[in-house]
Homo-oligomer: A and B are copies of this chain.
Amino acid sequence: MIGAGFMGAAHSQGWRVAPRFFDLPLQPEMAVVVARTAATVETAAQKWGWAEAATDWREVIARDDIDLVDIVTPGDSHAEIAVAALKAGKHVLCEKPLANTVAEAEAMAEAAADAAERGVRAMVGFTYRRVPAVTHARNMIAAGRIGDVRQVRAAYRQDWLRDEDGPMTWRLDKSRAGSGALGDIGAHAIDLAEYVTGTTLTKVAGTIETIVRERPLLGETRGLSGTASNETGEVTVDDVATFTGRFAGNGGFEPIGTFEATRFATGRKNALTLEVSGSTGAIAFDLERLNELQFYDAQDSSLEQGFRTILVTEAEHPYLAPWWPAGHMLGYEHGFSHQVKDFVEAIAEGTEPSPSFAEGLHVQRVLAAVEDSSAEDARWTSVR
């Protein structure tokens, strides 16, 4: 595993726990964790249970005893590491977003396609696909339980930038973070909407905006140059993005999607929400209640129609069988175990895992189209 931040903790938990609940065809070994600083990576290795710690990812990739590389670094390094790892014949799991630019993502998707011919697999970490309620929603829609999809509403709302006196950080600096709310959490909303409905965005029209443009510099972000205590830095990424999209037609009509990504939705902590209106039903989901799926069946008796709250914790539900009895809740990190399970199975079976790098690239193209639209007066802009 390359990287030792918050995502490193989550992925480590996935590798650690998945084999204890699922019967995997291959047994993962937590071999090496890599990060730039020796002290950091030593601590991470010990804390998270990796056998070794290392500081040079190139050396690790070159090792024969490494079969799989899990990339959890910031987005600007994904392309270089992933391409190198795939060329070295390692299976690659890469955290989202696939990359910071479309060009990088294209290179990665190409490398993944080449690798696939050699039986080497690549997957991108849109983990929320593997929240059981989300997978179940997709299955229900694929089975026709809501009929033709007509409208999709996806939003990812957080509020950690609400306080305008909150400090400047690297995540708010475009040169380092690549994007703001759009790329960080909007990407999840896009993937979720496409995954659950089984269709693809073809054009978008939208706006990105920065609500608080100056923030105090503190600690690291003040850097060497700062002296005055009231010095501020410029926020160069978006705080909020809203856009409308059209999906490739299912049965003629091209479903309409509305999207929002924001870090200013006061009171919403991690509210990735989705509501899909179909011709004979609807589903709704909220990550803040991730064990629940709302389902409305317009084919129920007219006296008895209503959104029902399905507790997606039954043994028959996706991924649920090896976990706990019905009604015993799963949490955020279970998606990482499910990701490990699916990736390991794909490797063992020699099938293409999903979301592929090509799918990751597509999301990057949607993000780019939103930025282009915003720059051109919110006009409709084709994806690609």
Residues of A within 8 A of B (CB): 6, 9-10, 12-13, 16-17, 20-21, 47-49, 136, 140, 145-146, 150-151, 153, 158-160, 162-164, 205-207, 209, 211, 240, 242, 244, 253, 256, 258, 260, 262, 264-271, 275, 277-282, 287-291, 293, 295-298, 300, 302-311, 313-314, 316-317, 324-334, 377-380
Residue on B nearest A318 in the bound complex, by CB:
B303
Q: Which of A145, A262, A305 has the most CB of B within 10 A?
A: A305
Which residues of chain B have C-beta atoms less than 8 A from A326's C-beta? 160, 269-270
Query: When chains A and B are docked, how far (Å) is the Cα of A151 from the Cα of B331?
Result: 29
Q: Which of A300, A306, A307 has the most CB of B within 10 A?
A: A306
Also in contact, A302 and B316, with CB within 8 A (given A211-B150, A327-B158, A334-B331): yes
Which residues of chain B have C-beta atoms less than 8 A from A16's C-beta? 16-17, 20
Q: Write 22 A-B pairs (CB below 8 A) sorted by A numbering.
A: A17-B17, A151-B265, A164-B279, A205-B207, A211-B253, A240-B256, A264-B277, A266-B280, A266-B296, A267-B281, A267-B298, A270-B326, A288-B311, A295-B306, A297-B304, A300-B308, A303-B310, A306-B310, A324-B333, A329-B331, A331-B333, A377-B380
* Neighbour of A162 across the interface among B298, B300, B304, CB < 8 A: B298
* Neighbour of A153 across the interface among B260, B278, B316, CB < 8 A: B260
Q: Are B308 and A306 in contact (CB under 8 A)?
A: yes
Which residues of chain B have C-beta atoms less than 8 A from A300's C-beta? 308
Which residues of chain B have C-beta atoms less than 8 A from A380's C-beta? 377-378
Q: Are A20 and B49 in contact (CB under 8 A)?
A: yes
* Neighbour of A12 across the interface among B20, B269, B293, CB < 8 A: B20
Q: Are B378 and A205 in contact (CB under 8 A)?
A: yes
Residue on B nearest A309 in the bound complex, by CB:
B306
Residue on B nearest A334 in the bound complex, by CB:
B331
This protein's copies in its complex: 4
Q: Are A146 and B307 in contact (CB under 8 A)?
A: no
10 nearest A-B pairs in the assembled complex, by CB-CB distance: A269-B327, A270-B327, A331-B331, A267-B296, A308-B308, A306-B308, A266-B282, A306-B310, A328-B332, A205-B378
Q: Are B256 and A258 in contact (CB under 8 A)?
A: no
Also in contact, A307 and B305, with CB within 8 A (given A164-B279, A265-B151, A332-B329): no
Which residues of chain B have C-beta atoms less than 8 A from A13's C-beta? 17, 20
Residue on B nearest A328 in the bound complex, by CB:
B332
Q: Are B327 and A277 in contact (CB under 8 A)?
A: no
Query: When chains A and B are docked, how far (Å) is the Cα of A359 from the Cα of B17?
Result: 33
Query: When chains A and B are docked, how far (Å) is the Cα of A330 from the Cα of B290?
Result: 10
Query: When chains A and B are docked, how far (Å) is the Cα of A324 from the Cα of B10?
Result: 8
Q: Which of A158, A207, A256, A265 has the most CB of B within 10 A?
A: A256
Which residues of chain B have C-beta atoms less than 8 A from A295's C-beta? 304, 306
Which residues of chain B have C-beta atoms less than 8 A from A314's C-beta? 302-303
Q: Are B269 and A282 in contact (CB under 8 A)?
A: no
Which residues of chain B have C-beta atoms less than 8 A from A151's C-beta? 240, 262, 264-265
Residue on B nearest A324 in the bound complex, by CB:
B332
* Neighbour of A266 across the interface among B209, B298, B313, B329, CB < 8 A: B298
Q: Could you list 15 further interchain pairs (A-B, Cβ under 8 angstroms) beyond the known A265-B282, A267-B277, A267-B298?
A: A16-B16, A140-B303, A146-B266, A150-B264, A162-B298, A164-B279, A205-B377, A244-B378, A266-B298, A271-B327, A304-B310, A305-B310, A306-B308, A324-B332, A328-B331
